[in-house]
Amino acid sequence: MYNLIKLNNGLRIVLENIDYVKSVSVGMWIENGSRNENRDNNGISHFIEHMMFKGTENRNAFEIADCIESIGGQINAFTGKEATCYYVKILDSHIDLALDVLSDMIFNSKMLKEDIEKEKGVIIEEINMNEDSPEDVLSDLHSSAIWGEDPVSYPILGTIDTVKSFTREEIVDYMNRYYIPENSVISICGNFDTSKIQNMVEKYFGSWKSDKNKKITTYSNPKTFNSNLFKKKNIEQLHISLGMPGVELGNDLVYPIILANNILGGGASSILFQKLREEKGFCYSIYSYMSSLNNTGVNVVYAGLNPKYAENAIYLIKEEINNFYKKGISKEKLIKAKEQLKGGYILGIESTSSRMFNNGKSVLFLNRINKPEDIINKIDAINEDSIREAMDIVYSKGILNSAFVGENLDLDKITNIIEKSSYSFKQSKKNFI
């Protein structure tokens, strides 16, 4: 059973009652992330997430974690480009504690200067760790290639310089402006007393008021660029990210696009995996995925491989995308792919936490509940016309932008392969090992 409630202060509550489980997941969603920042305060949303666990007026840092973990629960948080989520998964008999702890963190965090200075070191180490991960570096680099200087391209962690610059006053002011009930959703999924839950949430969050300088989240309409970027790193593999157009969050073409992506590069039976790994042996890892954000979206092909295969692999990826677009998807393949997509979706929401995430994100950004039966119906409704419309959007223009992390890359030659049809796959076979 689902319920969507709005308190007098503007806070939305989305409830999904599952009476046959013994757990409950509670998420506090804030519509604020790196996309709401500027170059000077980039990373502040993620920094605030960290500071929420450093101690409140009622609990120190150890007690925040211990009061949940000592009864077998879990507490954590994450920051993205457009949202921050604090969440607890706990036995259903302790739901009151989950709401108590989350409200305590939101309203009573001390933000002590000494804790802020200490956490700067922690987050700088996180940034350094991110730099040691080629996939993470690639993701940030490709964001810049896709969206240029628009805030949607900013790294979630910020930079070492911006993190070092944060002051307590700046952090508290930012939080007061964006951490407001109108920008927030509480998502609860699991076993709870439906007759008491609203009053329980009211008890902890009903008196939450907006700051006079509040910021209701708005989003730019970012332009998508035709850029190709390379970052040199002393690593064995070359990591490749190739971008194509996508659709914005909430667009119903998301479902046929996901279906097409699954066929192209969604698993071991996909076109790209079979061609580039199984047949040619160019790489160990290759896949495609889509990302939908407010007012923008992108489809990406990722591969990690030996740099000596780069030119041939990129040409072959480009060729397979073009062939896939021209041939389309047969009726038989469409039926099979829809069943695969439904199966993957259902398996992905079998836990209370995954359903809490799904409900919270949907209400936060779209102000509606995406029930499983609604999603299944949308998948069932995919037909040849919607698939063709989706493929026209994503694949008709080919690869628009790219990013590369590694060594020994001739970016001009790679750009020529991506942008032109002058590269001959046959002529380069002498380079194969």
pLDDT digits (tens, 9 = 90+) for 85-128: 999 999 999 999 999 999 999 999 999 999 999 999 999 999 99
Please give the average per-residue pLDDT across 160-181, as a whole number: 97
Residue 427 predicted with pLDDT over 80: no
Q: How confident is the model at residue 428 (pLDDT cuts 50, 70, 90)?
A: very low
d(CA 132, CA 84): 24
CA distance linking residue 140 with residue 147, whole number of Å: 11
Dihedrals φ, ψ of 394, to 5°? -85, -45
Instruction: Specify the pairing of strand 184-190 against strand 12-17.
Output: parallel
pLDDT at 215 over 90: no
Arithmetic mean of pLDDT over the chain:
94
Per-residue pLDDT at 41: 97
The string of pLDDT tens digits covering residues 336-386 is 999 999 999 998 888 999 999 999 999 999 999 999 999 999 999 999 999
Q: What is the C-alpha to C-alpha distance for residues 31 and 84, in angstroms, rounded to an integer?
A: 7
When pLDDT is cut at 50, 70 and 90, the band that residue 426 belongs to is: very low
Q: What is the Cα–Cα distance from 122 to 119, expressed in whole angstroms?
A: 5
Catalytic residue among 49, 82, 311, 320: 49
pLDDT of residue 430: 34
pLDDT score at 1:
86
Centroid of chain to Cα 227: 22
pLDDT, mean of residues 190-204: 95
Give residue 35's pLDDT band: very low, low, confident or very high (50, 70, 90): very high
49 is catalytic: yes
Sign of the Cα pseudo-torsion (37, 40, 43, 47, in order)? negative
121: Cα separation from own chain's centroid:
25
Are 398 and 321 in contact, with CB atoms under 8 Å apart? yes
Taking the C-alpha atoms of residue 226 and residue 237, their distance in angstroms, rounded to an integer, is 24
Six-digit token string for 127:
């940034």
Q: What is the pLDDT of residue 421?
A: 61
Percent of the chain with pLDDT over 90: 91
Overall average pLDDT of the 319-340 stretch: 94
* pLDDT over threshold 80, residue 267: yes
Q: Are 244 and 303 in contact (CB under 8 A)?
A: no
Q: In this model, does residue 432 exceed pLDDT 50? A: no
Domains defined along the chain, listed by start: 2-205 (3.30.830.10), 228-431 (3.30.830.10)
For helices 331-348 and 372-380, angle between their N-to-C axes, nearest 10 degrees? 170
Please list the alpha-helical segments (H only) found in 30-94.
44-51, 61-69
**Token duo for residue 405:** 């992390």
CA separation for the pair 245, 224 (Å, rounded): 8
Q: How far apart are CA 82 and CA 52, in angstroms?
A: 18
Residue 2 is inside which H or E element, if any? strand 2-6
Confidence at 266, pLDDT banded by 50, 70, 90: very high
Q: Is the pLDDT of residue 279 over 70?
A: yes
Which H or E run includes 171? helix 168-178
Cα–Cα distance measured from residue 346 to residue 106, given in angstroms and rounded to the nearest whole number: 33
pTM of the model: 0.93
Place of tokens 């332009």: 223
Please give the distance of CA 405 from its chain centroid, rounded to a whole number. 21
Distances (CA, A) of 424 to 314, 402, 430: 12, 20, 12
What is the spatial order of strands in the sheet that 74-79 belongs to?
2-6, 12-17, 184-190, 23-30, 84-91, 74-79
The pLDDT of residue 280 is: 96
